Structure 1
Amino acid sequence: MLNLRETIDRQVSLALRDLLSAEEAPLACCSLSRPGFLDYTLSLPMKLARTRHKAPLVIAQELQPAVAGIACAALTEAVAPGYINIQLSDSFVADQLSSMLGTEPAVLLQKEANGQKIEVEFVSANPTGPLHVGNGRGAALGSVLATLLETQGYDVDREYYVNDYGSKMKLFTESIAHYLFPMLGLEHAMPDEGYQGAYVPDLAQAIYDRKGSELRSQLDEQRLAAIEEDGKELVLASIRQALEEMGVSFDTWFSERYLIENGWNDRVLQQFRARGIIYEKNDAVWLRSTDFGDDKDRVLVRRDGEPTYTLTDAAYHFNKFQRGYVKSIDVFGADHIGHIVPMQALMKSLGLPDDFLEVIIYQIVHFLRGGQRVVLSKQTGEIIELAELVREVGKDQARVFFLLSSADSELEFDLEVAKEKSLDNPAYYLKYTHARLCSVERQARGIGAVVPPVASPADVARLKTPEDRDLLKCLLKAQDEVDDAARTRQPHRILYLASELAKAVNAFYQKEKVIQEDTGLAQARMLLVLVSQRLLQAYAHVLGVTLPESM
């Protein structure tokens, strides 16, 4: 599918090449017109007014004849206070509609492969307990972003980083041991900051059922190692299941322990030493990260010889680069906002490209139960599990509601609204709209009406009402908007586009008759129905939701 804005911009730039200076040429960018105007608007005259010392309308009138010659335009006009409006030709529009009709929804928004690999890391919650509802937002954002980037031709890998090394795992292991050891006739104190959730004794029981007799014959150190491994395995299984129920999958589950035990920390330390950017102080090893834009130098190895998160983060991203990714996009919760500057400094200290790492921070989700917010914490036991939420409201509803606002805005997830089967529920609204489009197609086929496989200029010419034109604009701008959403890393915009299309479809349906005696107009409007249906399915593919053919 063509990005029409880019296509028009190229044609306009070519038409105006002899009328614009090298400095002015990049300003010749069009935008979609407001309702009631022609299809696209060129604001270039407004931008040139100051440097050319002319009224914008005069400049528009001077440039308009050249713009009128572009291949995709049927009509252009210079209007006050200084715009050039462009109406696309019926033949050009018919070609775009025909192309959309002839393309499967799953690849409708897909560009050609560009040969570049991108890694999107998201969720990556510690394997110390079940996923809570807050993790769902990162899951939805990362999942949709990965698919969105695939539409741009990237080879995208979805990666979950398993934080299975260090103090959190030690606390997790000892918390389970506190409940499991008495089953063996032993005792183990609950650590001061141990995990208190109801799932912890359940894990202890599950491990005892699997390995009780084996644990009895082991020393405490061996028991704890076995408990850690089994506990991690059980938690990761529950995490995988919860994500799968939400329609989220990963290509790679990457272990922090694997990273450390296979020498990646040591490789990075050697690289830092070779570059002369580490030093020792207070029996610890430090990175001169202030040389690379950080606000302070960072400890890499503690005085007890244990690596810090800084060193492991450096090793992990160096490993990503070595795996051939041109970019790593990390989707983190708001508690990671302070990590952005240090992480960017780490990339520079490793000599990686400036644009290798991108960090997307999403704000907190407030989950409402009975109108009250619930505080979430694995350690206090106040957990609302993601799996419970998905099972209660449904996969599609969960994905949609987690995308209701941009990542940088806080989100309230109202469970009751998510379960409503009403047009106020955005997930339900998309399904309802698609079912309506399918119903119109079934009715048309049932009475033998023409269901056109391609569009003609004559079909486009018959689409004249405001509702016809508004729906047509929603269809034609799709690739422009999807490309912008991918470029700006805003996956929630795909939901906005789908909702906007659904709104335009229903306004069109309420005002205009599709099946009617005027067979020419019926055929033209059936084209809008069929292309809208296909585009809504394409958006649903990116969003990872399903659309029913009837309701």
Structure 2
Amino acid sequence: MKTKIKQIVLAAARKAFEKGELSSDQVPEMEIEAPKHNSQGDFSSNFAMVSAGLQKMAPKKIAQTIVSNMESLAFIEKIEVAGPGFINFFLADGAWHPVVDQILEQDKRFGASRMGRGQKVQVEFVSANPTGPLHVGHGRGAAVGDSVGNILAFAGFDVQKEYYINDSGRQIRTLGTSVWLRLLERGGKKIEFPDDCYKGEYIKDLAQKVLDKEGKDFLEQAEDTAIPICAKLAANEILGGIKSDLADFGVHFDQWFSEQSLFDSNRVQKAIEAYRAEGLIYEDEGALWFRTEDFGDEKNRVVVRNNGLTTYFASDIAYHKEKYERGFDRVIDVWGADHHGYIKRIDASVVASGRKSEQFEVILVQLVNLLRGGNPVQMSTRSGEFVTLKDIVDEVGKDAARFMFLSRSYDSGLEFDLELAKEKNSDNPVYYVQYVHARITGILLKAKEEGLIKEIEFQRGEHLGLLTTPEEINLIKILAGFGEQVEKSADTLHPHVIFTYLMSLASAFHGYYNKHKVITEDIQLSRARLSLVLSVKKVIRNGLGLLGVSAPERM
């Protein structure tokens, strides 16, 4: 509808220019927006204000000129010039009715967009070290990254979701050491457990699994031999648990990329040598440094320490270089907020590889505070225990967990109340939205039983001209805006835009349902309203699907 309104304004501007009523045929970027108040119409254009400089006329005069040159159209009830020169459009009710048919016909594709034009995008998220189970913060990052990928794909991008496995380096050796020490404890040795080792009960469980696999003779192995074996077995076991937990959370990756593979393929060394040849990496005091300062970072960064060991940054340089070599036009990384200081150095390496800075984006996900009935939940203990993603999903379910994680912008901290997420009433956001889908299914089944419709799914509405109440027109207007919200969410990389939209649509439906009967004594009106509520059901399903949340038929 916005496109239609824009075309009407542009046609009137051309006509006015040809008649000599406007001095310029240039058209600046204008906006067509839905006003906040119904008294200002359905859509408003700021064409006159943004054209004032070009036309050298008062905005109000430009607006009046535009309106006087507009064709009379049946779907527009009236047009007004308001304030300093806004052009407000009031649409006839009939202008909205085709939206219902569009939804019924397009079904699962309603709201989809071609804005991405097939651009190849990689979304890398979670990427937690395989040194322990996923915690609550990883859960929010998983919900955000997975939903961003879904939304971009729905908006016409060619999306690949990837998990980067940090299976190389110091943290893996620390994992191996932690398991080895717990193994020695099981063998009867008294161990002073180092502060920098992993202390959770899961380490003891891993030690037992190593013992079960390798046998008691393994305890006689030399430490240098045993620790790498412990590290590999433990990391593989943990990674298996991570994959399982993410699958239960509804997250599936197209690619699991191993950091170790960068060393095995010699990619890290090749990247360092290439940048040394270009003068971007230099030696100082026995260490190798990347000239990240030349690309906007606050200082240059070490890639190889003076002891010959590479830093995490060295791996990340090679990894991001490899991403673009795979053909991605755009790379999006989802990180925890504590990684903020890392952005500029990665961006520097991306630009150094010949890409543009805008081809690399980072989503920083803020922390989650768990509550139970409004009271804070202890997230971790000194003994190394913490609340895991699995704990959350087991308690409240996948749908509630995902929806709650996405209920606020990831730019802000989130308070996640476990008791609220389990409530079966309108206070629980996921229940509030899912119940719309289930309730409409019940209405449609009842209508089928009464012979009003043959099937609960159909592709064309009936008697839509009978949908005239303010609540019905408002509901259709909200439905019509779904595609715009998808594009806004894709453009800003903010999934909570879809959450907010679904809450608004659910609220409008509940308000409509509480005021009007869908199945009435008037058969034609009933079929019109059944067409409307089926379109609501489909859009609710499409929106929930983008967030990885199910749309139940009954609750």
Residue 136 (str. 1) matches residue 139 (str. 2): yes
Give distance in 1, aligned partners of 2:14 and 2:289.
55
* Kept after mapping to 1: 8 A contact 2:432/2:506: yes
Residue in structure 2 matched with residue 44 of structure 1 by the alignment: 47
State the Cα deviation string for residues 419-457 of structure 1 (Å, max 9, x = none). Answer: 11111000111121111111221222222225774247x
Letter of the aligned partner of 2:33 in structure 1? S
1:89 Cα deviation from its structure 2 partner:
6.1
Letter of the aligned partner of 1:479 in structure 2? G
Residue in structure 1 matched with residue 6 of structure 2 by the alignment: 9
Residue 29 (str. 1) matches residue 49 (str. 2): no
1:378 Cα deviation from its structure 2 partner:
8.7
* Kept after mapping to 2: 8 A contact 1:67/1:76: no
* Kept after mapping to 1: 8 A contact 2:127/2:164: yes
1:75 Cα deviation from its structure 2 partner:
3.2
Which moved further from structure 2: 408-417 or 150-159? 150-159
Residue 549 (str. 1) matches residue 546 (str. 2): no
Match for 1:480 among 484, 492, 505? 484
Give distance in 1, aligned partners of 2:227 and 2:378.
31
Which moved further from structure 2: 81-90 or 414-423? 81-90
1:532 Cα deviation from its structure 2 partner:
0.5
Give distance in 2, aligned partners of 1:478 and 1:57.
32
Letter of the aligned partner of 1:29 in structure 2? E
1:21 Cα deviation from its structure 2 partner:
7.8
1:182 Cα deviation from its structure 2 partner:
3.6
Letter of the aligned partner of 1:167 in structure 2? R
Residue in structure 2 matched with residue 421 of structure 1 by the alignment: 424
1:402 Cα deviation from its structure 2 partner:
0.3
Match for 2:519 among 515, 533, 548? 515
Give distance in 2, aligned partners of 1:89 and 1:78.
14
Match for 2:360 among 346, 357, 369? 357
Within 5 Å, which residues of 2 pair with 1:3-402? 4-17=1-14, 19=17, 25-37=27-39, 38-49=41-52, 56-68=59-71, 73-81=75-83, 82-88=85-91, 93-105=96-108, 107-111=109-113, 114-184=117-187, 190-213=193-216, 215-216=218-219, 218-369=221-372, 371-374=374-377, 376=379, 380-402=383-405
1:86 Cα deviation from its structure 2 partner:
2.6
Instruction: Name the TM-score, length of structure 2 as normaliser.
Output: 0.91
> Alpha carbon RMSD of aligned pairs, Å?
2.5
Residue in structure 1 matched with residue 445 of structure 2 by the alignment: 442
Letter of the aligned partner of 1:501 in structure 2? L
Residue in structure 2 matched with residue 502 of structure 1 by the alignment: 506
1:371 Cα deviation from its structure 2 partner:
4.4
Residue in structure 1 matched with residue 470 of structure 2 by the alignment: 466
The number of aligned residues is 544
Please, which runs of 5 or more residues in structure 2 have no aligned partner?
none
Q: 1:68 to 1:177 in 2, by over 3 A?
A: farther
State the Cα deviation string for residues 163-188 of structure 1 (Å, max 9, x = none). Answer: 11111112111111111124456676
SS in 2 for 1:16: helix
Which moved further from structure 2: 133-142 or 444-453? 444-453
Give distance in 2, aligned partners of 1:21 and 1:218.
89
* Kept after mapping to 1: 8 A contact 2:370/2:379: no
Match for 2:493 among 469, 489, 492? 489
1:100 Cα deviation from its structure 2 partner:
1.4
State the Cα deviation string for residues 494-535 of structure 1 (Å, max 9, x = none). Answer: 111111111111111111222223333333222211110111
Percentage of matched positions with identical amino acids: 38
Give distance in 2, aligned partners of 1:233 and 1:138.
22
Give distance in 2, aligned partners of 1:252 and 1:90.
49
SS in 1 for 2:369: strand
Letter of the aligned partner of 1:503 in structure 2? S
Give distance in 2, aligned partners of 1:12 and 1:125.
52
* Kept after mapping to 1: 8 A contact 2:75/2:94: no
SS in 2 for 1:360: strand
State the Cα deviation string for residues 384-433 of structure 1 (Å, max 9, x = none). Answer: 01101101001100000001100101100111111111110001111211
SS in 1 for 2:28: helix
1:215 Cα deviation from its structure 2 partner:
2.4
Letter of the aligned partner of 2:9 in structure 1? V
Which moved further from structure 2: 109-118 or 138-147? 109-118
Which moved further from structure 2: 155-164 or 374-383? 374-383
Which moved further from structure 2: 305-314 or 190-199? 190-199
Letter of the aligned partner of 1:512 in structure 2? H
* Kept after mapping to 1: 8 A contact 2:250/2:548: yes
Instruction: Name the TM-score, length of structure 1 as normaliser.
Output: 0.92
Give distance in 1, aligned partners of 2:381 and 2:130.
11
SS in 2 for 1:361: strand
Q: 1:307 to 1:13 in 2, by over 3 A?
A: farther
Give distance in 2, aligned partners of 1:22 and 1:204.
78
Give distance in 2, aligned partners of 1:68 and 1:436.
43
Give distance in 2, aligned partners of 1:110 and 1:54.
40
1:370 Cα deviation from its structure 2 partner:
6.0
Residue 540 (str. 1) matches residue 544 (str. 2): yes
SS in 2 for 1:102: helix
Letter of the aligned partner of 2:228 in structure 1? A
Q: 1:409 to 1:159 in 2, by over 3 A?
A: same
Give distance in 1, aligned partners of 2:25 and 2:62.
16
